[in-house]
């Protein structure tokens, strides 16, 4: 898989994610009986220059209209709208289809550190396969902070005692809160499949931070126990990403009589607002970037996959 990088301009970071690299139970085969599409992300220093070089090297990857407008226009579409990423999809390489997104180093940093859209922050909550290491230690550091944010947020959604699976389901579900694709086009059991198919790798991402947290402990039964006092709840709320904190009802959350379920609901609502702002716009942007033909085929593949999984679910009972 790392050989793919030689076909593209230089990046400051690259990784693969999703069912194309981490096989999900029940999703071993993609739509139309084909292997699952490989999803890649390229983090670049200069978007305009990267697209210019990529258009020279891989012109067929771009919709002809986008290509005719040039790399400066493509970079503008990428960096000024929705989730700040530009996707080329349904690219055939080595007898397999792939989709790759391009994001600037600055926008990647902002989404992980502030949860601007949670588009990449959410992807980095789950295991990813790095095609090369981060060229910048700052990107690595912020990816670790993003994991701490996810753990901290999930703890606020959970009770005094919970299982490892409940924790990972809460984390994996954060970036799907408010995502309209979960209504149309995505597998309704996607979050559950992500966790159950990648349980140990995902647990290994968070276990060191749980072990280092004085307000959490892993019981002999394997369950996790946390301090849910008002003081600890406020401390965790203050460690939420800035864009989540911005939408919170502080008068409610700082009240000593507030119920824990109200805290959780308020946080979920805040995250949903972030995701809801970007997810429909990113879908529209995908049509513009790919062109109507590829966008239609890609949408049909998603729908076929969704209905196939629904059929398998219904026939199970």
Dist. CA 122–CA 159, nearest whole Å: 22
| Residue 86 CB neighbours (<10 A) | 27
Q: 307-311: long-range contacts at Cβ-Cβ below 8 A with a sequence spacing of 24 or more?
A: 308/31, 309/26, 309/27, 309/187, 309/188, 309/189, 310/188
pLDDT (0 to 100) of residue 152: 98
Q: Which residues in the chain belong to E strands, given as ranges? A: 13-17, 38-44, 86-93, 96-104, 129-132, 161-162, 216-218, 224-226
The structure tokens listed for 151 are 């753990």
Q: Give the side-chain half-sphere CA count within 13 A for 234.
A: 12
CA-based nearest residue to 101, from 163, 161, 35, 11 = 11
Q: What is the pLDDT of residue 31?
A: 46
For position 48, what pLDDT does the model report? 98
| Verdict on whether the full-model pTM lies above 0.85 | yes
* Residues of the chain scoring pLDDT < 50: 30-32, 185, 307, 310-314, 316-317
pLDDT of residue 280: 78
User: How confident is the model at residue 112, as a pLDDT?
Assistant: 97
124: left (phi over 0), alpha (psi -120 to 50) or beta: alpha
Name residue 97's beta-bridge partners.
92
Please provide the size of the chain in residues: 317
């Amino acid at each position: 898989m790392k050989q793919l990088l030689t076909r593209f301009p230089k990046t400051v970071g690259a990784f693969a994610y999703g069912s194309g690299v981490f096989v999900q139970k029940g999703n071993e085969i993609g739509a139309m009986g084909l292997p699952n599409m490989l999803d890649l992300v390229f983090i670049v220093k200069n978007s305009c220059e990267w697209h210019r070089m990529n258009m020279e090297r891989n012109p067929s990857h771009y919709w002809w209209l986008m290509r005719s407008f040039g790399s400066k226009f493509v970079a503008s579409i990428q960096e000024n709208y929705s989730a700040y990423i530009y996707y080329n999809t349904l690219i055939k390489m080595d007898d397999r289809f792939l989709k790759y997104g391009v994001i600037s180093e600055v926008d990647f940093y902002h989404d992980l550190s502030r949860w601007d859209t949670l588009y990449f922050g959410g992807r980095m909550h789950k295991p990813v396969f790095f095609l090369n290491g981060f060229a910048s230690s700052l990107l690595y550091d912020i990816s670790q902070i993003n994991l701490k944010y996810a753990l901290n947020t999930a703890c606020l959604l959970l009770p005094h005692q919970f299982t490892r699976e409940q924790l990972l389901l809460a984390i994996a579900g954060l970036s799907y809160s408010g995502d309209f694709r979960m209504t149309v086009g995505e597998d309704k059991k996607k979050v559950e499949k992500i966790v159950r198919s990648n349980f140990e790798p995902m647990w290994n991402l968070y276990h060191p931070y749980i072990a280092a947290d004085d307000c959490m402990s892993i019981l002999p039964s394997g369950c996790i126990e946390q301090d849910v006092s008002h003081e600890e709840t406020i401390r965790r709320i203050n460690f939420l990403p800035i864009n989540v904190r911005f939408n919170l009802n502080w008068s409610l959350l700082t009240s000593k009589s507030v119920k824990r379920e109200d805290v959780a609901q308020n946080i979920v609502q805040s995250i949903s607002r972030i995701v809801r702002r970007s997810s429909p716009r990113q879908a529209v942007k995908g049509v513009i970037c790919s062109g109507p033909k590829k966008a239609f085929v890609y949408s049909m593949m998603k729908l076929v996959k969704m209905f196939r999984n629904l059929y398998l679910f219904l026939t199970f009972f």
